[in-house]
Copies of this chain bind each other. A is one copy, B any other.
Amino acid sequence: MKPNFTLRLRVFNLNCWGIPYLSKHRADRVKRLGDFLNMESFDLALLEEVWSEQDFQYLRQKLLPTYPAAHYFRSGIIGSGLCVFSKHPIQEFTQHVFTLNGYPYMLHAEYNRQKDTYLAHRVAQAWELAQFIHHTSKKADVVLLCGDLNLHPKDLGCRLLKEWTGLHDAYLETRDFKGSEEGCTMVPKNCYVKHQELGPFPLGIRIDYVLYKAVSGLYIFCKTFKTTTGHDPYSGPPFSDHEALMATLCVRHSPPQHNPSPTHGPAESSPLTSVLREAWAEVDQGMAQAHWWATMAGYAVGLGLLLLALLCALAAGGWIREAALLLWTPSVGLVLGAGAFYLFHVQEAKGLCRTRAELQHVLGRAREAQDLGPESQPALLLGQQERERAEEQ
């Protein structure tokens, strides 16, 4: 980029609510979304919950002239539902699958914010995401994180993510916002939103984000930020049960007075340390719970095996043979079910343990940095070794 040049980047984001057979008016919504994206010709369109690969292929064909580059992220059994359309070539893509993804045996929890059983997993995912950004963006020009994070702005996961990565929230940063009240991305005015879904937030919730930062030598700011407001941009029926986000970001060379977001060194600053501590405590509690469930499941496996042995003995002895045979299947079911439950919680505990270890390490280094004072901070591996055994060539 030339020194005085400003690069303008127009970004679109939407959770498309594209569940085959279940989401209402899917085909029509996808069609209208495609028309809109073609007309607006954004630089980047980032879509979530495009669960059907056919929908992606349909959009790909339709958007090809305006967005020649596209990618659908496949993973797991049902896929990630994520896709990206870009006006510019995609240099590289990669994908990270979270270690912990909730409890497969529970239906997706209604928003119970008093007793969120998923809290430890949400925090672990936020940390994993933050670490992914931290480790992969060191030489980036700009980092952009868009999407439905399933986190409210003040939620621990959201604060952890922002503090650790230094990402800025387009809605909070822009001076030119147009859209729903308080930037909400699920609003009661949207005809696809059930009022129960909003739980204790009858006016709406903000869980979809455009977050950004510049890494080095560059400066980024959000010029305009828009959301839809319960219907599509032409006041027609909405594209989804979520609102669409549209941001215009400007990137330019960093003037000396503008320090770009630091790729933080030791975490000695207070808001970061406090959110790290809070996350540590949450993950620690989740780990204790996972251990408890694993122990209970272990007992249940033992019980099931005992029952099976008893039934075999009864059947062999000729007593209540039919009843024994009838009970055989549920007993096998108990052993298998409890076994799966046990394995699930063991790996959950290991996953949370790993997150806790990483948080602890970061906190430990912050403490060391505080104890030793600022002059200790350049004491990195190379520097230290240099002092230790200086073998001059």
Q: Which of A8, A89, A381 has the most chain B CB atoms closer than 10 A to its own CB?
A: A381
**Nearest-Cβ distance from residue A390 to partner chain B, whole angstroms:** 7
Cα(A343)–Cα(B76), bound, Å: 9
A95–B336 Cα distance when bound, in Å, is 30
| A43 partner residues in chain B, CB cutoff 8 A | 385
Closest-CB distance, A288 to chain B (whole angstroms): 16
Known A75-B350, A351-B75, A361-B92: A393·B136 in contact at CB below 8 Å:
no
Q: Does A110 contact B (CB under 8 A)?
A: no
Q: How many copies does the complex hold?
A: 2
Report the bound CA distance from A326 to B386 in whole Å.
Answer: 74
Q: Does A270 contact B (CB under 8 A)?
A: no
Question: Known contacts being A138-B138, A357-B74, is A2 close to B325, with CB within 8 Å?
Answer: no
Q: A9 to B391, alpha carbons, bound, how many Å?
A: 12
Q: Distance in Å from the Cβ of A32 to the closest Cβ of chain B?
A: 27
Do residues A390 and B5 form an inter-chain contact, with CB atoms below 8 A?
yes
Which of B90, B139, B350 is close to A74, meaning CB atoms less than 8 Å apart?
B350
| Residue pair A2, B386 in contact (C-beta under 8 Å) | yes
Chain B residues closer than 8 Å to A49, beta-carbon distance: none
Interface residues of A (CB under 8 A from B): 1-2, 4-9, 43, 71, 73-77, 79, 88-95, 97, 99, 131, 135-136, 138-139, 141, 251-252, 321-322, 325-326, 328-329, 332-333, 336, 343, 346-347, 350-351, 353-354, 357-358, 361-362, 365, 379-386, 389-393
Q: Sorted from nearest, which 10 A-B pairs have the closest CB atoms?
A: A138-B139, A325-B325, A74-B350, A135-B136, A139-B139, A77-B347, A88-B381, A74-B354, A4-B393, A329-B329
Residue contacts A-B, CB under 8 angstroms, 5 given: A89-B384, A91-B365, A94-B135, A97-B99, A252-B393
